[in-house]
A and B are shown apart, each in its own frame.
Chain A
Amino acid sequence: MKAQSKFLIGSGIIVATLLALAYIGYTQSKTYYHTISELATLPAPEQHQRMRVSGNVRGGSISHRDGRIDFVLEEQGKSLPVSYVGSDPLPDTFKDGAQALVEGRLQPDGDFTAEQVQAKCASKYEASPTGAPIQPSPTPGQSMNPAPGSSAGKS
């Protein structure tokens, strides 16, 4: 066999393996973005997917319970009750009125169970965004999208 065809076969095997791995990785970590208003209209199978939802934390809604933190996210007049069950402390920027991104699953009762919360504080000046959610990544195997946050300047 010619060297070139051997090389092509070898490449084919490598590429196929990588594609398979990529697909496995994709199914393990894909996360949907939804808005709060979309949640109600989602078809049933999609309601149970892992997803990210963003909104503003309703003032005064943060309450610390045993083993979890409850709060309400608001966006365009719609609201979503969220229970944060993760073990990591919430980011410094998480407070009333902050813009937050939660990741987790929707429960059958319509509440959202978040395993992760990122928050951005409303910035005083548009040119200096300070999104500094510090989200530890406990194990490499878990689905952990958000990076450690910095903001401007790092590129």
Chain B
Amino acid sequence: MDIFGSFALLLALGAAVYAFAGGIAGIATRRPLLSKTARNAGMAVFGLVTLAVATIIYAFFTDDFSLAYVSAHSNHTLPLYYKFSALWAGQEGSLLFWTWLLSIYAFFALFLNRKKHPELMPYVGVTLAGVQIFFLTLNNFVASPFRVLGAMDATGAMHVARLSDGSGLNPLLQYYEMVIHPPILYLGYTGFTVPFAFAMAALLGRYPGEKWIHITRRWTMVAWCFQTVGILLGAHWAYAVLGWGGYWAWDPVENAALLPWITGTAFLHSVMMQEKRGMMKVWNVWLVFVTFMLCILGTSLTRTGVVSSVHAFAESSIGSWFFTFLAIILVVCLAAWFKNRDYLRSDNQLDSLVSRESSFLFNNLILLAACFAVLWGTLFPVISEAVTGNKISVGPPFFNKVNVPIALFLLFLTGVGPLLAWRKTSFDSLKRNFAWPLIGGVIAGAVAFALGFREFYPLICLILSVFVTLTIAAEFYRGARVIASRDGTNLLTAVGELTMRNTRRYGGYVIHFGMVLIFVGISGQAFNQDIQKEMNIGDTISIGPYRILCQNFDQPSTSNYSSDRATLEVFRNGKSQMMLYPEHRTYLASQVSETIVAVQSTPLRDLYVVYAGASPETGKPVIHAYLNPLVKWIWFGGIVVVLGTGLAMFPSRGAALALRPVAQPAWGESVAPGSAPAIAPIHRSDGHD
């Protein structure tokens, strides 16, 4: 098995090298047939890596403990679906998984465009193959998942050894979300390779027109959506499994996933400046480049031990590979940009401070500031050690101080930006679009203040959330009203019709609304409470509106783990509400303990209860209860963001064209809704590709 898998990986590397070298030769000699063979080799990589992945999965399913990787991450009693997820539980497997997902993306990027863009695609193929060569080199020669266990026999000769059982999967990963969170996050990380390849291709090939920017934007949305979901699933996993009552801790690995998300978000916005006004071309190309580099950096941070994180894999020498690769990418990007910088000359200049353009500029400025702050804070131990010789780390106060105001300013722009006109917005249109939402927000803030709501940032967040929600609702209402009165349909049907006619614009609004929900959820953190107490049977603790009565302690155990469990009854207003069963498990194969949190989640608040083990002084069980308001809004907001992204990628119905000049300026088009349609000419594309 190991030989078959290794061989498939080696062939995949060969195919990638051919796709790279043959692709370059094809471009240089202008022979389409050569380019075609290179493309086919690029697609073949997918098939070969798939064989290798199938081999390792087969080894997991058949409990082949002669493979070092399998014996380190699985055992006989591990449930089947976790044997599958064990594929990405360690360094070697997760790198193979990275390569595989990348090969899937590369396959689709090449296959879907096989008959299109003959000038562009050879460059895309070469760029993709270049990235694949790097990862396949790691898979083959640095971190092969097909390493076999060796043992010396009596005569001193080495032969393959087979363990009777493996050491089992890390219990923290034995959770259903861990079966889907890593693949989705990896789909985000790897996905940004495709926009990178297209941007690089357009720059190197000096591809005329803005077509490439539409393609790049689409692929970025795919990767961005996966990255969003991946980050949120990770946060949810941390919340539901780790038992510390929170979901985000500014850990280096969380930050690593956030960085490309931030630059990807910046790109998705600033790209509209290029589509409509021919501005920001250099900026956009660099955003795509930087996003990709941050993905590689993020992938390496978990693997190299450069930044100490409790998430990290075992330290290894693989870091130098990654940093060499990053340096190569940077040099290639700089060279490609420098050689072709005249290709990226801007067509227009900023006309007014109160315009769509400037709102995008501010959006990008502060997103980049957030990205820089997070990157700086994450790498600070490394930087400070290099500069001063002292290793200094910074904690959440640093990240929060900088990023909370940034986030609120972004929220403000979310409401304002889409309603500003291109070039210049008149005071009248400002008043028309923002008067009511602003009044609504201020009223909400005043009511909250009167009710005793005094935290500064959450109050601002509340006002802005109401404001943004109202601007979005008003947008839907204005458009739908026109359709409803013309077609004689009811308003709800008209909203659907409106959305389908310009999915990109209204999908964007849905995403914005999802972000508002997430912001509301995060601001709930300011009101978290927790209490910890040693409890005997019959004892109670009170937190918020709840009273928790300890009913029983027992030890339910299975063949996989042994456990201590508390049975708690939760009362509210004297009435019994529910039973909670927080647990503390010890896995038998690995002797690792784990906390199983009991959560009662409602839209208003989560009651989150942890069995914190026995008190060292008295031996009595300790129960730690948290009351976390509004957490559910975060997960729900995430679902809304995904739906919005799906909507925005859905092709618009053609009928939009006929109506648009009057009441439906396309997403990001010239006229602020409700304002006179005469201002500002329509530029370039029709708003959706």
Chain A residues with CB under 8 Å of chain B are 3-4, 6-7, 10-11, 14-15, 17-18, 21-22, 24-26, 28-33, 52, 64, 66, 69, 87-90, 92-93, 118, 120-121, 123-138, 140-155
Contact = CB atoms under 8 A, between A and B. Distances in A.
A7 B350 contact: yes
Contacts of B85: 153
B234 interface: yes
Contact of A92 (B395, B525, B593): B593
B158 interface: no
Contacts of B172: 130, 132, 149-151
Interface string B284-311: 0000000000000011001100000111
Nearest to B586: A92
B434 interface: no
A127 B145 CA distance: 11
Given A10-B362, A153-B94, 19 more contacts: A3-B358, A11-B361, A14-B362, A18-B369, A21-B401, A22-B373, A33-B390, A33-B391, A33-B392, A52-B393, A89-B616, A127-B72, A127-B90, A132-B594, A137-B246, A144-B396, A147-B238, A147-B249, A155-B298
Contact of B592 (A7, A14, A28, A130): A130
Most B-side CB within 10 Å, residue of A11, A131, A150: A150
B68 A127 contact: yes
Nearest to B396: A144
Contacts of B250: 147
A153 B90 contact: yes
B311 A140 contact: no
B249 A137 contact: yes
Contacts of A155: 94, 182, 185-186, 189, 253, 256-257, 298-299, 302-303, 311
A140 B396 contact: yes
Given A33-B392, A150-B310, A143 B186 contact: no
B351 to A, nearest CB: 6
B147 to A, nearest CB: 10
Given A134-B244, A155-B299, A7 B358 contact: yes
Interface in B8-46: none
B78 to A, nearest CB: 13
Contact of B350 (A3, A24, A137, A153): A3
B402 A18 contact: yes
B113 interface: no
Contacts of B249: 137, 144, 146-148
Contact of A11 (B69, B365, B526, B612): B365
Contacts of B253: 147, 154-155
Contacts of B490: none
A153 B352 CA distance: 48
Given A14-B366, A89-B622, A136 B313 contact: no
16 contacts: A3-B352, A10-B353, A11-B362, A18-B369, A21-B402, A21-B405, A22-B373, A22-B401, A66-B617, A127-B73, A128-B89, A143-B395, A144-B395, A148-B246, A149-B311, A151-B310
A53 B544 CA distance: 37
Contact of A18 (B242, B406, B612, B616): B406
Contact of B400 (A90, A134, A140, A146): A140
Contacts of B189: 155
Interface string B339-368: 000000000011111010010011001100
B616 A128 contact: no
Interface of B is mostly: helix
B398 A154 contact: no
Contacts of B182: 153-155
B47 interface: no
B243 interface: yes
B392 A4 contact: no
Interface residues of B, number: 96
Nearest to B352: A3
Given A31-B395, A127-B73, A149-B311, A138 B530 contact: yes
Most A-side CB within 10 Å, residue of B312, B313, B369, B398: B398
Nearest to B234: A154
Contacts of B244: 134-137, 148
B400 A127 contact: no
B84 interface: no
B569 interface: no
A121 B592 contact: yes
B179 to A, nearest CB: 10
Contacts of A148: 238, 242-244, 246, 249, 251, 310
A25 B394 contact: yes
Interface string B71-109: 111000000000001001111101000000000000000
B488 interface: no
B576 interface: no
A134 B595 contact: yes
Nearest to A2: B350
Nearest to B92: A127
B398 A29 contact: yes
B582 to A, nearest CB: 13
A10 B363 CA distance: 12
B315 to A, nearest CB: 9
A132 B242 CA distance: 9
Most A-side CB within 10 Å, residue of B85, B311, B616: B311
Contacts of B207: none
A4 B590 CA distance: 62
B183 to A, nearest CB: 11
Interface string B375-408: 0100001000000001111111111111001100
Contacts of A138: 530
B365 A14 contact: yes
B173 A152 contact: yes
A148 B235 CA distance: 11
A150 B314 contact: no
